[in-house]
């Protein structure tokens, strides 16, 4: 079995579970740190010809992270493409099972069992908190409706103020974000790299949680540790 992954989360999941199968991944696939496969471009602009030359039995992709024209081109080249759809934690666990089975995993990996157990009983907050979750600035963009990261936060007691927005990742002026009066601003370090010096100053007086973007947005081995580590960061910001 030869697999190319176009999704960082899935790359990590395949690499640690059925490592001998992975032959190609995107430039953004940063985990595991010692990953040694051919790099085939970005998630939005993969080198389709390079993928075809690798002669994979399967390409794993995601309906949000990858573009349909690229996936169509791969299919037209005779390559099987498995496309995942992940909008919440239960869906992530189901899709990971599907991907790993398609990649030839003979049994469910321990990290996936641990992730399912961790999310079955995530840390219970003392109270629920309203928040905004920027993912970009210049222009400001936030989590909107129907997102995996939004579901992760909701399960940890944080209610996204834009969860009912018509867009999944709306552009919202900073003045409107501050006028929404969030109790908390959650600032991940990806896709935009928010830091203590870049982001919090835009929301004076609002408690902020700087969080590891991989824990918030990736669905892979990090799912096992995400509830505890994110829960700790959120509790610290709210205290």
Q: What is the pLDDT of residues 123-180, one digit of tens each?
A: 888 899 999 999 999 999 999 999 999 999 999 999 999 999 999 999 999 999 999 9
Q: Is the bond preceding residue 32 a cis peptide, omega within 30 degrees?
A: yes
Q: What is the CA radius of gyration of the chain?
A: 18
The region that residue 101 occupies, defined by phi over 0 for left and psi between -120 and 50 for alpha, beta otherwise, is alpha
Would you say residue 239 has pLDDT above 90? no
The residue count of the chain comes to 239
Q: Residue 217 in contact with residue 194, Cβ under 8 Å?
A: no
Q: What pLDDT was estimated at residue 126?
A: 84
Percent of the chain with pLDDT over 90: 96
136 to each of 58, 87, 106, 160, 173, how far by Cα in Å? 32, 20, 40, 16, 12
Q: Each residue of 6-53: pLDDT tens digit?
A: 999 999 999 999 989 999 999 999 999 999 999 999 999 999 999 999
Q: What pLDDT was estimated at residue 214?
A: 96
Q: Residue 100 in contact with residue 18, Cβ under 8 Å?
A: yes
């Amino acid at each position: 079995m030869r697999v190319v992954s176009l999704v960082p989360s899935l790359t990590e999941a395949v690499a640690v579970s059925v490592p001998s199968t992975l032959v190609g991944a995107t430039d953004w696939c940063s985990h595991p740190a010692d990953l040694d496969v051919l790099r085939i471009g970005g998630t939005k602009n993969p080198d389709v010809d390079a993928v075809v030359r690798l002669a994979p039995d399967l390409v794993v992709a995601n309906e949000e992270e990858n573009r349909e024209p690229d996936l169509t081109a791969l299919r037209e080249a005779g390559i099987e493409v498995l496309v995942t759809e992940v909008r919440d934690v239960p869906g992530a666990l189901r899709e990971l099972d599907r991907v790993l089975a398609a990649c030839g995993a003979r049994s469910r990996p321990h990290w996936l069992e641990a992730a399912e157990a961790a999310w079955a009983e995530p840390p219970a907050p003392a109270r629920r908190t309203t928040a905004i979750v920027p993912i970009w600035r210049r222009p400001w963009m936030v989590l909107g409706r129907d997102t995996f990261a939004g579901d992760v936060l909701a399960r940890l007691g944080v209610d996204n103020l834009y969860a009912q927005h018509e867009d999944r990742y709306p552009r919202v002026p900073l003045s409107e974000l501050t006028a929404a009066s969030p109790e908390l601003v959650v600032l991940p370090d990806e896709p935009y790299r928010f830091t203590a010096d870049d982001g919090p100053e835009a929301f004076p007086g609002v408690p902020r949680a700087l969080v590891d973007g991989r824990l918030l947005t990736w669905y892979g081995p990090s799912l096992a540790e995400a509830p505890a580590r994110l829960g700790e960061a959120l509790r610290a910001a709210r205290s």
